[in-house]
């Protein structure tokens, strides 16, 4: 029995040590194996209470974190997230309580450490690690251009949200777009699921752009929280702008202001006039299928191997190679269903006008179409942002001051 008593005493001593270093101390009783005559170490009378407890999961982000002390006062309280960033908080005037100043982030690990002391200056400590609850409903912003990409001077920053946004101001505050060298950049909402950013004029060649997404835990709609905390960086390449004159049936291609080539084109026929205005290349296809059913024109055409296709609008306008039309048409007549056609060969020829233009073009390059016939392209049809004057563009911000744009 004597061995069993010694074993129990050792366990009791170990438990007392945990209370002292991990909680608030005990009554300083017998230490078990302490040699006779040794004095018990002094123990703080301060009693700390910390919530949530160590190891807690699915902790609510509001109102769950608290620190209280009885028979003492708090010296320090530190709440940090998984990255080591401090969460600010406030002590009560008598230093017996502490609460965080803001709601916590969802699905995040936190560490809470508190130190208190009693009237004799003896300290007590408490530690807790816990994880907050994951949100039930979330939204994300699908962005373009991609991180690390190089794009043309007409490429806006576009975010398409996975859920309709009702608090546009809150979402807009959580997003920033910056440029190096600095530029004035403004946002514009197209409906409740698309937010674009652009400068007043095309990006200068060589500009480095950063998109800062700080949407994590932003409530974009009732019960829907954002999940993204991300930086996206891209570079603007050389300036390439192609000016299409539908009346002259030409495309003048300029790189950094210098004319590279003038190409003969065929635009939309009088029955299917091409859109007018500035359009931006959003996709590139060496070969693609074009079916009139997809653009509401019934069975008028179905071409399975259209070469060197560059998308200009979401509604189906392309600059593309054309091998099925007599070459005499290019530079002389407008015969298409709205696209800008360039002469090409079946299967696509690198030496053709279409092949040459395709090789010289990247996503974000601009095609400016003008002519005496045709409707202006809608700003939200593809990447037609540049067709809105700056005053109208800035008025589309949820944070725009009335009358100041």
From 195, 221, 237, the end of a domain falls on: 237
> Phi and psi at residue 13, in whole multiples of 5°?
-65, -45
Residue 124 falls inside a structural domain: yes
Domain contains 291: yes
Which pLDDT score, from 0 to 100, does residue 59 have? 96
pLDDT of residue 10: 36
Kindly give the parts of the chain with pLDDT less than 50. Answer: 1-32, 403-405
- CA dist., res. 381 & res. 314, Å (int): 5
Domain holding 12, by residue range, is: 2-131
CA distances (Å), origin 362, targets 37, 100, 155, 239: 86, 49, 10, 10
Domain membership of residue 325 (yes or no) is yes
Nearest 5°: the CA angle 254, 255, 256 is: 115
User: Based on the domain organization, do 29 and 122 belong to the same domain?
Assistant: yes
158's tokens:
């576009």
pLDDT score recorded for residue 83: 85
Could you tell me if 274 and 338 lie in one domain? yes
Same-domain pairing of 23 and 50: yes
Same domain, 215 and 228: yes
Instruction: Kindly report the backbone phi and psi dihedral angles of residue 168, in degrees, each rounded to the nearest multiple of 5, phi listed first.
Output: -65, -35
Total number of domains in the chain = 3
Whether residue 37 is found in the same domain as residue 160: no
Cα dihedral 82→88→92→94 (10° resolution): 80
Residue 23 counted as domain residue:
yes
pLDDT at 9: 35
Last residue of a domain, one of 219, 237, 255: 237
H or E segment and range at residue 390: helix 390-395
- C-alpha dihedral over 290, 296, 299, 301, to 10 degrees? -30
Question: Which of 237, 256, 288 corresponds to the end of one domain?
Answer: 237
Q: How far apart are CA 317 and CA 272, in angstroms?
A: 11
Check 188, 320, 337, 405 and give the catalytic one.
Answer: 320
CA-to-CA distance for 369 and 274, rounded, in angstroms? 8
Given this model, what pLDDT does residue 166 score? 98
CA-to-CA separations, 404 to 126, 171, 248, 392, 400, in angstroms, rounded: 53, 21, 41, 11, 7
Which CATH number belongs to the domain containing residue 143 in this structure?
2.60.40.3710
Query: 3-state DSSP call for residue 175?
Result: strand
232 & 284 share domain = no
- Any idea what DSSP says for residue 345? -
What are the strands, taking DSSP E only, across 223-301?
224-226, 229-236, 240-245, 250-255, 258-264, 277-280, 283-291
Q: What is the pLDDT of residue 391?
A: 96
pLDDT of the residue at 302: 75
Claim to verify: residue 180 and residue 218 sit in the same structural domain: yes
pTM over 0.85: no
Active site residue 23: no
pLDDT value for 227: 94
Quick check: is 397 in a domain? no
What pLDDT, on a 0 to 100 scale, did the predictor assign at position 337?
87
How confident is the model at residue 169, as a pLDDT?
98
CB-based contact 365:241 (threshold 8 Å): yes
Domain of 320, CATH number, reads: 2.40.440.10
CB-based contact 188:182 (threshold 8 Å):
no
Task: Please check whether residues 19 and 38 belong to one and the same domain.
Answer: yes
- Residue 396 included in any domain: no
Q: Are residues 344 and 362 in the same domain?
A: yes
Q: Do residue 247 and residue 343 come from a single domain?
A: yes
CATH number where 122 lies: 2.60.40.3780
- 188, 249, 308, 339: the catalytic one is 339
93 lies in some domain: yes
Burial class (CB in 10 A: 0-12, 13-18, 19+), 225: buried
pLDDT of the residue at 26 = 37
Q: Looking at the domain assignment, is residue 18 inside a domain?
A: yes
Direct distance between the N- and C-terminal alpha carbons of the chain, in angstroms, rounded to an integer: 88
> Residue 294's pLDDT is what?
66
CB 381 within 8 A of CB 194: no
Q: Kindly state whether residues 83 and 158 are assigned to the same domain.
A: no
Task: Tell me, yes or no, whether 233 and 246 share the same domain.
Answer: no
User: In degrees rounded to 5, what are phi and psi of residue 345?
Assistant: -115, 155
């Amino acid at each position: 029995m004597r061995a069993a008593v010694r074993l129990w005493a050792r366990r009791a001593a170990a438990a007392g040590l945990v209370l002292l270093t991990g909680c608030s101390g005990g009554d300083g009783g017998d230490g078990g194996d302490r040699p006779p005559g040794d004095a018990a170490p002094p123990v703080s009378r301060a009693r700390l209470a910390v919530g949530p407890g160590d190891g807690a999961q699915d902790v609510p982000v509001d109102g769950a974190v608290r620190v209280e002390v009885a028979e003492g006062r708090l010296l320090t309280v530190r709440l940090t997230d998984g990255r080591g960033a401090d969460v600010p908080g406030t002590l009560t005037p008598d230093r017996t309580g502490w609460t965080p100043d803001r709601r916590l982030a969802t699905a995040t690990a936190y560490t809470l450490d508190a130190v208190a002391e009693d009237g004799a200056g003896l300290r007590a400590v408490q530690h807790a690690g816990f994880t907050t609850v994951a949100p039930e409903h979330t939204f994300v912003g699908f962005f373009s251009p991609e991180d690390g990409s190089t794009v043309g001077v007409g490429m806006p920053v576009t975010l398409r949200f996975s859920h309709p946004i009702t608090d546009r101001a809150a979402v807009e505050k959580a997003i920033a777009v910056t440029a190096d060298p600095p530029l004035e950049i403004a946002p514009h909402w197209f409906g409740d699921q698309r937010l674009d950013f652009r400068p007043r004029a095309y990006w200068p060649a060589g500009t480095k752009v950063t998109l800062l997404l700080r949407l994590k835990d932003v409530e974009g709609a009732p019960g829907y929280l954002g999940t993204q905390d991300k930086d996206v960086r891209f570079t603007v390449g050389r300036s390439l702008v192609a000016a299409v004159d539908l009346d002259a049936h030409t495309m003048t291609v300029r790189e950094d202001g210098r004319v590279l080539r003038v190409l003969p084109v065929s635009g939309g026929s009088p029955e299917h006039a091409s859109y007018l205005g500035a359009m931006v290349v959003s996709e590139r296809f060496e070969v693609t299928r074009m079916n009139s059913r997809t653009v509401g024109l019934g069975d008028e055409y179905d071409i399975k191997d259209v070469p060197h296709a560059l998308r200009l609008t979401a509604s189906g306008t392309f600059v593309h190679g054309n091998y099925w039309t007599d070459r005499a048409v290019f530079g002389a007549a407008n015969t298409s269903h709205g696209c800008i056609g360039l002469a090409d060969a079946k299967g696509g020829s690198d030496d053709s006008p279409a092949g040459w233009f395709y090789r010289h073009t990247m996503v974000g390059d601009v095609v400016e179409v003008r002519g005496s016939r045709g409707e202006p392209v809608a700003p939200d049809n593809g990447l037609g942002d540049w067709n809105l004057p700056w005053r109208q563009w800035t008025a589309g911000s949820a944070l725009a001051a009335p009358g100041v744009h």
